[in-house]
Amino acid sequence: MAQTEILLVTPPLTQLNAPYPATTQLLAYLKQNGVGASQYDLSIDLADAVFSKSFLVEVLGELKSSKNHFAVNKNLYIDLVDPVKAFLRGKNPTLSHRICSRQLLPEGSRFSQIEDLEWWFGSLGKSDMARYLATLFLLDISDFIRENVCQHFGVTKYAERISLSLPQFTQLGKELSKESNPVDLLMISLLKAKLEIFKPKVVGFTVPFPGNLYAALRCGKFIKEHYPEIKAIIGGGFVSTELRMLNDPSIFDYIDFIILDDGELPLLSLMQYVNDRRTPLLRTFIKDHEEVRLLNNLPDTVIAKDLPAPDYTGIDVDKYLSLMELPNPMHSLWSNGFWNKIQLARGCYWAKCAFCDTSLPYISSYNPSDVLQLIESMQAIIAQTGQTGFHFVDEAAPPALLRNLSKEIIKRRLTVTWWTNIRFEKNFTYELCQLMAEAGCIAVTGGIEVASNRLLNLMNKGVTVEQAALTCKNFQDATIMVHAYLMYGFPSETEQETIDSLEIVRQFFKVDLIQSGFWHRYAMTCHSPTGLSPQNYGVKRVTLKPNPFANNEVPFIESVNCNHDRLGKGLEKSIYNFMQGIGIDAHVSSWFDFKVALPSIPPNYIAKTIGIKKGR
Ligand code: SF4
């Protein structure tokens, strides 16, 4: 093994079913360029250590109270956590019979969400039913840990709440100055063990989400205190989106460098700099005489075609847990199954949606990979992980590239299963959807956003409600499942438009055009067309002055009188039920505790649009 100069770490917590893709891509690039690099998924190791007999003995052992569910059932939790984990890793399949009997697992508050198991899973779906029940068991444990041991703990995020909107560093700094809690200590002990093995010069933490920042900085603090010779870096999605206008140097008490955008070139130059201080750093924030400086903020020059296949060396596939948080086959793709992750293209080929960060390189710098190279990369990954499922983690997979890739997969008789994110555009014809299905595509996700033609046009989505319906039908006819990203509260959106949008979504479910969905509350971000030119959307930003720390969401003054926050609860309730096949025939107003506008869309509008007489 080459000596590790840099250890790439995914800090807790991300999804538990597969590693976050940043370190695999960076590892491959750095190795290709002669850097001794290794990777470590601290996130899955921490989850493994928390959901373990030894940790539960520590945190549940002393519990005494005949009224507390965990005190009463502590021995069951302690004895069952490891077998249940093995089941969720596919190692202990026969346990499903006992789990489904509902006599084995202690049932805490999460089990109260169970609707009709038999309706969902029938008599044959025991394995999925058991996976769902086993997931609720872990979620109960996670609730206990959050309430009693570490307030930051969630199954797939760590201390997300304190990093969600951070105009200043003070609040996070305060949290980091507190004594470590038992989960922090566990995380640090896992990191320390790896530092002792690899002895790196540099540790690079990827921070894709707000829920990874606290852990990265807690680890950075430990490194600074105990291994001052090691340099610590952060980069990744959250950093590149929110910290671009950073001018508060406090964060440098925890790390040494912050890099922006795709990390390949900045990391390469940083590794050269570590060995020779004359090497210029690239797109890197440093602290210089108590001030923050961004060095050489030049555009990326590594195009997708020049990237090697992601490298899974150091990833222990057997550790990942396949969860099922909702009994919905489309929804469960995010947490169930080890999906190899690879990008077909960098950036978005459309890059025009008004709510999206289109001014940032991760969206605006579009360049696709070569199909033959992609196939070779897929084969190389399969050889490493032994898994044939792929999640193409694109912003929006281009139809032409999907066509060529599908043809090549079929030509080479490659048996793979895959899903990806798309735009509901007209190029997804029935024939293309069929080809994709034949090549192993089982699902797509895409934005229907606000299902209103006026707003789709205003936000420059490039599709209409009718087009989206026809495209979804093509996918359904090809047996490809569809998940819809939905939005409410876009500038100038009225209550009538939100209710109409919900009615359209109801009809999409009614005629089986989509299997799952999620309502996002629109947020104006400073890098989006709406944030950059709010006047074009009839609204005003409250302030244009950047914050000293994170800058992303910006407050704005609406032009219409509509309380969207009030509508949010009903929208969430509706989609949660639709995904379980409940309430699809109910009037949309029934999801709200107050009087709302009546929908102006005829009840069979979508059925007629796609040419069927009525829904299911
Ligand atoms: S929302 Fe999606 S399709 Fe639209 S610009 Fe952003 S990445 Fe592209």
**pLDDT tens, 242-272?**
999 999 999 999 999 999 999 999 999 999 9
Q: Indicate if ligand 1 lies below 6 Å from the C-beta of 393.
A: no
Angle between helices 182-198 and 42-50 (to 10 degrees): 130
Is there a contact between 486 and 518 (Cβ–Cβ < 8 Å)?
yes
Q: Indicate if ligand 1 lies below 6 Å from the C-beta of 356.
A: yes
What's the Cα-to-Cα distance from 562 to each of 468, 493, 496, 542, 599, rounded to whole Å?
26, 8, 9, 18, 16
Q: Which residue out of 395, 450, 460 has the highest number of ligand 1 atoms within 8 Å of its CB and is therefore the one to mutate? A: 395
> What local confidence, expressed as pLDDT, does residue 163 receive?
79
Q: Indicate if ligand 1 lies below 6 Å from the C-beta of 445.
A: no
> What local confidence, expressed as pLDDT, does residue 123 receive?
67
Taking alpha carbons only, the member of 37, 89, 345 closest to residue 200 is 37
pLDDT tens column, 25-84: 999 999 999 999 999 999 999 999 999 999 999 999 888 877 899 999 999 999 999 999
Mean residue pLDDT across the chain = 95
The torsion angle over the Cα atoms of residues 99, 101, 104 and 105, rounded to 10 degrees, is: 60
φ, ψ of residue 190 in degrees (nearest 5)? -70, -45
> What local confidence, expressed as pLDDT, does residue 189 receive?
98
Q: Which residues contact 56 (CB under 8 A, 6 or more apart)?
A: 74, 77, 78, 81, 141
Q: Indicate if ligand 1 lies below 6 Å from the C-beta of 527.
A: no
Q: Indicate if ligand 1 lies below 6 Å from the C-beta of 520.
A: no
Beta strands in 302-399 (DSSP E): 340-342, 345-346, 367-368, 389-392
What is the CB-side half-sphere exposure of residue 446 using CA atoms within 13 A?
Answer: 31
> What local confidence, expressed as pLDDT, does residue 544 receive?
75
Q: Whose CA is nearest to atom 5 of ligand 1?
A: 351
> What local confidence, expressed as pLDDT, does residue 124 receive?
62
pLDDT tens column, 216-247: 999 999 999 999 999 999 999 999 999 999 99
CA–CA separation, 245 vs 552, rounded Å? Answer: 10
Q: Which ranges of the chain have pLDDT less than 70?
A: 1-2, 123-124, 613-616
Structure tokens at 477: 């006819």
Residue corresponding to tokens 């899974």? 312
Q: What is the helix (H) or strand (E) element at residue 284, kind and residue range?
A: strand 284-288
Q: Whose CA is nearest to atom 7 of ligand 1?
A: 395
CA of residue 180 to ligand 1 center, whole Å:
40
> What local confidence, expressed as pLDDT, does residue 1 receive?
57
Q: Indicate if ligand 1 lies below 6 Å from the C-beta of 395.
A: yes
What is the CB-side half-sphere exposure of residue 328 using CA atoms within 13 A?
Answer: 24
CA–CA separation, 96 vs 488, rounded Å? Answer: 40
φ, ψ of residue 67 in degrees (nearest 5)? -95, -20
Is there a contact between 545 and 165 (Cβ–Cβ < 8 Å)?
no
Q: Indicate if ligand 1 lies below 6 Å from the C-beta of 392.
A: no
